[in-house]
Amino acid sequence: VGIDLQPALLEIAAARAMAAGLSDRVTFHCVSHGQLPFADQTFTVVFSKDSLLHTADKLTYFAEIRRVLKAGGWFVGSDGLKGVQPGATAREAYQQALGLPAYWESLETYGHLLEEVGFTEIQLRDRSAWFREAVQQDNARIFGPLKSTLIDLVGADHYTAWTQTRQAMAQAVAAGELTTGHFRGRKPVDRELP
């Protein structure tokens, strides 16, 4: 089961599932930031990648994820996060270039929210050093050897707009205002509940 806020991304996912011969085994749902359209204790794992930053009320959403997990199930994710530097100028410029709402929190805040809604065995992993290096390497390829190929694929206008967003992201990362991290928490089984 896959979910997203953007119907266009779900269409791409459905097309890829069909091309891979998986369309009989996967479904996709467009959801808002409210209640998830699934029964209690439906899933053994919920995975989230770079989407929670677009959710203002993370506490409610984490509680929803806990609700749809089976006892003993895991919530695992990775997200764009507020960096360790107190400023936000470069991060705000990136958000504006991105053109999507973002509600940045720290990795530590994610850990507190997971605990508050009842997850246990919480693990947090700061990926700042890796992210800085990955952004630099990606941009070196995007602005270097891949430039002409990318322009041929998406056109000069799209390439220019996309690379402006990439530059804004790189500036926010370099300023220490934007990072990424991994997190996970387990929904306790009934006998473990207080």
Q: Which pLDDT does position 88 carry in this prediction?
A: 85
Type and span of the H or E element at 172:
helix 156-174
Which tokens go with 89? 């100028």
Q: 38 CB contacts (<8 Å, ≥6 apart)? A: 1, 68
Domain(s) of CATH 3.40.50.150: residues in the chain: 31-192
Contact (CB, 8 A) for 71 and 191: no
Q: Which pLDDT does position 186 carry in this prediction?
A: 98
Q: Which pLDDT does position 193 carry in this prediction?
A: 55
Cα separation, 56 vs 43, in Å, equals 24
Which tokens go with 121? 């065995």
Dihedral sign (CA 108, 111, 115, 116): positive
Cα separation, 62 vs 44, in Å, equals 15
From first to last of the 194 residues of the chain, give the pLDDT tens digit: 999 888 999 999 999 999 999 999 999 999 877 789 999 999 999 999 998 998 999 999 999 999 999 999 999 999 999 998 877 899 999 999 988 889 999 999 999 999 999 999 999 999 999 999 999 999 999 999 999 999 999 999 999 999 999 999 999 999 999 999 999 999 999 766 55
Dihedral sign (CA 83, 51, 64, 185): negative
| Backbone dihedral angles phi then psi of residue 69, each to the nearest 5 degrees | -80, 145
Give the number of other CB atoms < 10 A from CB of residue 190.
7
Cα separation, 110 vs 171, in Å, equals 24
Architecture of domain 31-192: 3-Layer(aba) Sandwich (3.40)
Q: Which pLDDT does position 33 carry in this prediction?
A: 73
